[in-house]
Amino acid sequence: MFEVLDVSGFATIQDLGRAGWRRFGVPASGPMDSFAFRAANLLAGNSMDAAALEIGAGEIELRALNDCVIAAAGAGYSLSVFTWTFPLWDSCFVRAGWTIRLNKSGFPQRTADFGMWAYLAFAGGLEIESVLGSRSTYLRGHFGGLDGRLLQAGDVLRSGRPARALDELAARTLIEEARPAYNENPMVDVILGPQTERFDEKNIQTFLSSSYKVNHLSDRMGYRLEGPRSNHIGGADLTSEGMMAGAVQVPADGQPIVMMADCATAGGYPKIASVISADLPLLAQCAPGKDSVRFRATTVEAAQEKFRALMEKMKNGIVDS
């Protein structure tokens, strides 16, 4: 059991998302950075889809009410346990009564200003009631997680039974070579389409050769970008159609919007491209109002291979410290 002592920013419970309900208008939700989320769970000895804590643009402090093992991953944060500070991508033993804090500062200090999201996984996973087959919080719908809301001081979280003895799960790390190459101006791969015919070749090349700043109005639903305008052929309105995280919509103002974890299930603007699953975490960790992103075209086959390689490196990159 864990008691939330203090929290700011966007702290929610997430798993890998709510599958099978998009046709009814229910977003998948899930983590913004699915790689860091999976890694934290594996470090804690859980399945990759176990419920864990996501924190963005803020900090959280908890007290462990029992001996446990936790693991943290992400970017822009450091982990404090009792009197010690640890980097992310590690698991550690926590004694009953000790405090746990995810601080909005990097480790080492030179990375303090970079990154948006961090994940705290608990050995055994968080035991939260499932809604529509998922424990993920959907804030706009007010369901999932803990009463469909942000975590707040006084909340008590419960974890399940760890898969292995605590001493076997503590002091593990994901080697640096297996972690994503987060940076303030990432190059992310995209699959062009499905409405490239709505943009002339000049606009497509501008999209692929420009840097776009992440707008400060960005959130879990979508990252709004600021950069060279993409002009449509035949207008910006389409008959609404299904949409997934990663889709890059271009509304009438010509400024791209990348759909994120809580994106709507349908949209009616032309989609110039889709960010591939392997690179969506790189964009998610860009700070709105500060960081930028660039795009590069790839193929479906290359995108699939990149995702498989990323997952393989994660699974093989966890070692005992």
Looking at the fold, whether 167 and 53 belong to one and the same domain comes out as yes
Give me the pLDDT at residue 271, please. 96
Binning pLDDT at 50, 70 and 90, where does residue 110 land? Answer: very low
What average pLDDT does this structure show over 267-283? Answer: 97
Does residue 114 form part of some domain? yes
What mean pLDDT, rounded, does the chain reach?
94
Count how many domains the chain has.
2
Looking at the fold, whether 153 and 219 belong to one and the same domain comes out as no
Give me the pLDDT at residue 105, please. 66
Q: What backbone phi and psi angles, to 5 degrees, belong to 2?
A: -140, 135
Out of 174, 209, 236, pick the residue that ends a domain: 174
Binning pLDDT at 50, 70 and 90, where does residue 87 land? Answer: confident
Looking at the fold, whether 39 and 93 belong to one and the same domain comes out as yes
Looking at the fold, whether 116 and 265 belong to one and the same domain comes out as no
The CA distance from 71 to 159, in Å, is 13
Rounded to the nearest 10 degrees, the angle between the axes of helix 34-43 and helix 300-316 is 20
Does residue 30 surpass a pLDDT of 80?
Answer: yes
Does residue 321 form part of some domain? no
Looking at the fold, whether 156 and 214 belong to one and the same domain comes out as no
Looking at the fold, whether 162 and 238 belong to one and the same domain comes out as no
What is the domain-level CATH number for residue 222?
2.40.100.10
What average pLDDT does this structure show over 103-132? Answer: 81
267 is written with which tokens?
């949209």
Give me the pLDDT at residue 107, please. 42
Say which DSSP state 116 is in.
Answer: -
Out of 153, 174, 195, pick the residue that ends a domain: 174
Looking at the fold, whether 46 and 98 belong to one and the same domain comes out as yes
Give me the pLDDT at residue 300, please. 97
What average pLDDT does this structure show over 136-158? Answer: 97
SS3 87: coil
- My answer on whether omega of the bond before 87 falls inside 30° of 0, hence cis, is no
The CA distance from 256 to 250, in Å, is 5
Looking at the fold, whether 121 and 248 belong to one and the same domain comes out as no
Out of 174, 207, 227, pick the residue that ends a domain: 174
SS3 182: coil
Looking at the fold, whether 148 and 207 belong to one and the same domain comes out as no
Does residue 121 form part of some domain? yes
Looking at the fold, whether 221 and 306 belong to one and the same domain comes out as yes
What average pLDDT does this structure show over 235-264? Answer: 95
Does residue 137 form part of some domain? yes
Nearest to 89 by CA among 16, 181, 184, 179: 179
Looking at the fold, whether 11 and 150 belong to one and the same domain comes out as yes
Does residue 181 form part of some domain? no
Domain that holds residue 235: 187-316
Does residue 35 form part of some domain? yes
Burial status of residue 271 (CB atoms within 10 A of its CB: 0-12, 13-18, 19 or more): buried
Does residue 291 form part of some domain? yes
Looking at the fold, whether 69 and 140 belong to one and the same domain comes out as yes
Binning pLDDT at 50, 70 and 90, where does residue 281 land? Answer: very high
Does residue 180 form part of some domain? no
pTM (global) more than 0.85 = yes
